[in-house]
Amino acid sequence: MANFFKRKPAVPAADKTPTPAEAPKPRRRDFSELKPDPDKIGISGSVPFVRLPDPTGLFADRAARLVEAAPGHPLEAYLRFVAEIARAQSVIQARFPAPAVPDAADQALRSEHGMPPLSRHSLEADPDLDASLLALLAELDLSTAPEASAAARDALRAASREDRLDLAVQVFEGALPVDRIAECVFVSAALQVRLAGQAARLDTKTLKPVADGVCPCCGGAPVASVIVSWTPADKARYLSCSLCGTYWNHVRIRCTACGDGEGVSYYGLDEVSKDVQVETCTTCHSYIKHLHQHRAPALDPVADDIASYGLDLKIAEDGFRRAGLNLLFVI
């Protein structure tokens, strides 16, 4: 039987007040001037707000992580299927030129109104989006994939360009049609390639927070929460976008869906790496995967979200719903 255990929120050291037994003599101390160290919880100005994706290595690294996690895994077949998608994404990314980003005036206008710079309009203006999708479908080796996957690929190939673009916009806006979920996986893969290319060309100095759980580049939902080890953001918390792959800073021990920090807890499974947990919120009853990438640098938000599916099954039994979104593993 799986051993499901709860961990207390990992309060940064600077937020812990010594108990009387731990405090040095004399015991009477004035704590009025003590303040939490913002650098420890990822809210200092020295911690970059965003880290833009590097499309040249993003998908190849993800494919390698999926292949590494697959042998002997209960979801081995699916992990290998997504690894093939990531491999094809890497090939397509290198084949097409990087998409243009909206001009400065348009970005400034959207920023003024609290909107991310990338939108459905920039998506529709990408001349290579449909060609990238068709090239990805042609690149994929689905010889060992389920028949449903091959059928979805054939359906997309047979669809009109307008229909494929309309489906891409629906995926971008988070309105995935239930009857076309299998097709949405391939469309999502193409979108990730194109949007990562666009996001990589944005100016980080112009990006601003949009809302809790919303990517400041494209408005996408996060796939996971990640504790990173980058300089100068060591042990800061970032959310990873399910669409464009951007990482953006988020205060630790605060729900990514509702912003509350009182009902946050962390859970893990013995059968899953200790570096992969779920963060739950009893205020809104949502959860998101929580990856300790600072301890295990190879962790990938998309790959390890799928590989830790046992956590989803267990936490759902307690009535929590996903706050994150993995477009290559729609559950």
Encode pLDDT of 306-320 as tens digits: 999 999 999 999 999
pLDDT in tens, 256-291: 999 998 999 999 998 888 999 999 999 999 999 999
Cβ burial, residue 25 (10 Å; 0-12/13-18/19+): exposed
pLDDT for residue 130 is more than 90: yes
Q: What's the pLDDT band for 46 if we cut at 50, 70, 90? A: confident
- Cα-based angle 61, 172, 80 (whole degrees, multiple of 5): 35
pLDDT in tens, 199-255: 999 999 999 999 989 999 999 999 999 999 988 888 999 999 999 999 999 998 999
SS3 state of residue 25: coil
pLDDT for residue 23 is more than 50: no
Domains of the chain are 50-99+110-322 (3.90.1670.10)
How much is the pTM? 0.86
SS3 state of residue 248: strand
Across 22-31, 62-71, 156-165, 169-178, least confident range: 22-31
DSSP 109-121: HHHHTT--S--HH
Q: What's the pLDDT band for 39 if we cut at 50, 70, 90? A: very low
- What pLDDT is recorded for position 3? 59
Q: Going along the chain, which residue ranges are E strands?
A: 4-7, 50-51, 222-227, 237-241, 247-249, 264-269, 276-281, 286-292, 321-322
- Quick one: how far is CA 171 from the chain centroid? 15
- What pLDDT is recorded for position 234? 86
How far apart, in whole angstroms, are the C-alpha atoms of residue 201 and residue 98? 9
How far apart, in whole angstroms, are the C-alpha atoms of residue 38 and residue 245? 25
Share of the chain above pLDDT 70, in %: 86
How far apart, in whole angstroms, are the C-alpha atoms of residue 79 and residue 82? 5
How far apart, in whole angstroms, are the C-alpha atoms of residue 34 and residue 12? 14
Cβ burial, residue 82 (10 Å; 0-12/13-18/19+): buried
**Mean pLDDT of the chain, nearest integer:** 88
Question: What is the number of alpha carbons within 13 Å of residue 88 lying toward its C-beta?
Answer: 24
- Per-residue b/e over 303-318, b at no fewer than 16 CB within 10 Å? bbbbbbbbbbebbeee
